[in-house]
Structure 1
Amino acid sequence: MKQSLFENRHQQEWEQLSRLLDQLERSRNVPQSNEFPHAYRRLCQHLALAQARGYSSLLVDTLQQLALRGHQQLYRDRGRPSGLTAFILVGFPRLVREQWRFVLAACVMFLGSLAGIGLLVYLFPELVYSVMGAEEVSQIRSMYDPAAGHLGRSVERAASEDWVMFGYYIMHNIGIAFQTFASGMMFGLGSAFFLFFNGLTIGAVAGHLTQIGSGGTFWSFVIGHGAFELTAITLAGAAGLQLGWALIAPGRLTRGEALRLAARKSVSMIAGVILLLLIAAFIEAYWSSSAVTPATKYTVGALLWLLVLSYLLLAGRVRHAAE
């Protein structure tokens, strides 16, 4: 059977099940209908057929997600977290692991360009002016001058304005993340560009400041919030690349349908990105520029990196075992 005929025949069943799952997920007090187990078994049968017949990955992926949602509701425990809590503890890290190919591609583009240009600028100092203007370089030097006493701030900013900076960091970082994500609509080229661009800019700053002797000031400032901020930019880029790939390789679906399916996961990814950026902004405003010893900041920063990586790699893995 052709995929188009298969979809036309069963699309209504899938939509009905999706609406029922929406109701069950919105409120844990909604009882399961008698038809729900049968509808769930039918979906599992459709999923097995789609996999066996080699239908498009987008269709199989959509049915898998619907089956996962159905499984969670069929065997749900009312003592388990739901809604936002479930998304944070289970849904988001699972989504990141599920989209590991796009996450890996974004890591290579962003962190690879960051590390590469950082090393080059450190070895060839004049190269920084190929990435940044002379005025920008001068401002960066001033902000991270160990003798200036205004760690991570411009000269005009006072420590009492941390709450203002918190709001600024939120708007600035979310703006960068959304730009990186939304530009994925340009067949992924926009997301790739902003991943490379941000990686080159941050790497050039890191390499230059380390080369001139301000590395201690810079690294002790960024290591804390960097765990959340750099991870968030990478994931925003991964979400954008997913949109672009849906347009490039829609399979047997139309580009509009493929984009709609990809957007569901990408938007969920961005919701998690925003959460990471809120945490990063808080740390950057209230901790990164505080008068704490560098050794303490490095220790806390290392623990935060370990926390973020452990969360994304391990959170949500034991739920099926418990069921």
Structure 2
Amino acid sequence: MDIDAFVTAHRPVWDRLDHLVKNRSSLTGTEVDELVELYQRVATHLSMVRSSSKDPLLVGRLSALVARARSAVTGAHTPAWREVTRFFTVSFPVVAYRARWWWLAVTAAFLVVSWVMGAWVAANPDVQATIASPDEITQLVNEDFADYYSENPAASFAGRVWTNNAWVAAQMIMYAVLLGLPIPYALYANAENVAVSGGLMASRDKLDIFFGLILPHGLLELTAIFLAAAVGLRLGWTVIDPGPRRRIEALAEQGRAVMSVAMGLVVVLFVSGLIEAFVTPSGLPTWARVGIGVLAEVVFIAYVIVFGRRALRENETGDIERAPDVAPTA
């Protein structure tokens, strides 16, 4: 880029934008429209200069001008509390709700696979023998399975569970970069773990203990993992079928929206981690522990349906409120 020619060509635009910004309190409607248009142009000029020039003075001048113009165009910054409120009432629930059919499909597939595999393990001693010896299975079903939830201090156990589950959920979303192809395998591996444990417990008539320990936290935990897998698969499918939009635009919009799910699930999995650490191993009756898990699940599903459906009616996508400011350039 010939920086001198670039400055000569665009200086009138910069000077005009500077004039409009300085007199923003007395602009007419036409001048306000001009201010917005010139702001987008100069923001694009700044991007071009940053990528093609090492002139710090020019970059500094344009950066300051764009910052002042943005303040004039957008007004005061949105209060932090409003951004947090929007996240939990719009961004997160609407992305989850829009992925509801993927979410249901993932849930159904997981349950079918784990149930069939668990029944196969429970009914076949030969299969059980390939997993562990009879003494090891007896040790697992009588002591180890239940002791897992109480062998560590509750606070540290909650932190470890939260970190692990958040990482699993993040992986499901990151796999979208590979069109979501690794997600079915990751789900299968988790279904296999659940099925083996459940099958071994069932083979020793301990299925009541299995569900009594799994359901309090597992309902919410697995629902969160299924949601992460669903949005990851949906994002991967966007690459294949972007719809009426350009592929890069659809992917950018969907990708930014999916990040809402990644952040929202951190909170959901924190709640499930607390339940797993403090409720699952507690001395409460089984019906009370399972009831707490069911209540947490119902509240979460209702939250997604109520807020997600409302946001969808308002044509929200979960994308950021203000997309990056750009103007066409040649």
TM tier, shorter chain?
0.5 to 0.7
Q: What is the DSSP-based 3-state SS (H/G/I as helix, E as strand, rest coil) of the residue aligned with 1:151? A: helix
**Aligned 1:32-71 pairs, distance under 5 A:** none
**Aligned 1:145-160 pairs, distance under 5 A:** 145=142, 148=143, 151-153=146-148, 158=151
The answer for unaligned runs of 5 or more in structure 2 is: 1-28, 34-77, 315-330
Q: 1:125 and 1:84 mapped to 2: Cα distance?
A: 53
Query: Could you say which residue in structure 2 is the equivalent of 1:21?
Result: none
**Aligned 1:177-192 pairs, distance under 5 A:** 177-192=169-184
Q: 2:285 and 2:295 mapped to 1: Cα distance?
A: 16
Query: Cα gap change, 1:104/1:224 in structure 2, threshold over 3 Å: closer, same or farther?
Result: same
**1:296 paired residue among 288, 300, 320:** 288
Query: Could you say which residue in structure 2 is the equivalent of 1:101?
Result: 101
Letter in 1 for 2:132: A
Q: 1:126 and 1:88 mapped to 2: Cα distance?
A: 50
Query: Could you say which residue in structure 2 is the equivalent of 1:244?
Result: 236
Query: Cα gap change, 1:196/1:116 in structure 2, threshold over 3 Å: closer, same or farther?
Result: same
Shift of 1:141: 5.8
Mapped contact 2:90–2:307 kept (Cα < 8 A): yes
Q: 1:109 and 1:226 mapped to 2: Cα distance?
A: 17
Shift of 1:143: 5.3
Mapped contact 1:122–1:211 kept (Cα < 8 A): yes
Shift of 1:310: 2.1
Letter in 2 for 1:106: V
1:172 is aligned to 2:167: no
Query: Cα gap change, 1:250/1:313 in structure 2, threshold over 3 Å: closer, same or farther?
Result: closer
Query: Cα gap change, 1:311/1:127 in structure 2, threshold over 3 Å: closer, same or farther?
Result: farther
What is the aligned-residue identity percentage?
Answer: 25
Q: 2:277 and 2:291 mapped to 1: Cα distance?
A: 18
Q: Rg larger in 1 or in 2?
A: 2
Query: Could you say which residue in structure 2 is the equivalent of 1:286?
Result: 278
Mapped contact 1:242–1:266 kept (Cα < 8 A): no
Mapped contact 1:246–1:258 kept (Cα < 8 A): yes
Q: 1:235 and 1:97 mapped to 2: Cα distance?
A: 10
Q: 2:225 and 2:138 mapped to 1: Cα distance?
A: 24
Q: 1:164 and 1:142 mapped to 2: Cα distance?
A: 25
Q: CA RMSD in A?
A: 3.6
Q: 1:299 and 1:170 mapped to 2: Cα distance?
A: 21
Mapped contact 1:89–1:315 kept (Cα < 8 A): yes
Query: Cα gap change, 1:297/1:140 in structure 2, threshold over 3 Å: closer, same or farther?
Result: farther
Q: Greater relative contact order (Cα 8 A, min sep 6): structure 1 or 2? A: 2
Post-superposition Cα deviations, 1:166-187, rounded to whole Å, max 9, x if no partner, equal 1110111112112222122222
Q: What is the DSSP-based 3-state SS (H/G/I as helix, E as strand, rest coil) of the residue aligned with 1:288? A: coil
Shift of 1:252: 6.5
Query: Cα gap change, 1:258/1:115 in structure 2, threshold over 3 Å: closer, same or farther?
Result: same
Deviates more, 1:274-283 or 1:240-249: 240-249
Shift of 1:128: 5.3
Q: 1:277 and 1:311 mapped to 2: Cα distance?
A: 15
Query: Cα gap change, 1:118/1:254 in structure 2, threshold over 3 Å: closer, same or farther?
Result: same
**1:222 paired residue among 199, 211, 214:** 214
1:312 is aligned to 2:304: yes
Q: 1:245 and 1:316 mapped to 2: Cα distance?
A: 21
The answer for unaligned runs of 5 or more in structure 1 is: 1-33, 39-77
**Aligned 1:204-215 pairs, distance under 5 A:** 204-215=196-207
- Number of matched residues? 242
Post-superposition Cα deviations, 1:212-237, rounded to whole Å, max 9, x if no partner, equal 12222221112111121011110110
Shift of 1:241: 0.4
Query: Could you say which residue in structure 1 is the equivalent of 2:132?
Result: 134
Q: 2:285 and 2:296 mapped to 1: Cα distance?
A: 17
Query: Could you say which residue in structure 2 is the equivalent of 1:124?
Result: 124
Q: 1:275 and 1:171 mapped to 2: Cα distance?
A: 11
Letter in 2 for 1:315: F
Post-superposition Cα deviations, 1:101-158, rounded to whole Å, max 9, x if no partner, equal 322332233233223322333333544577xx438x977864552xx4983417xx64
Q: 1:270 and 1:141 mapped to 2: Cα distance?
A: 39
Query: Could you say which residue in structure 2 is the equivalent of 1:163?
Result: 155
Shift of 1:297: 1.6
Mapped contact 1:143–1:152 kept (Cα < 8 A): no
Shift of 1:193: 1.4
Letter in 2 for 1:82: R
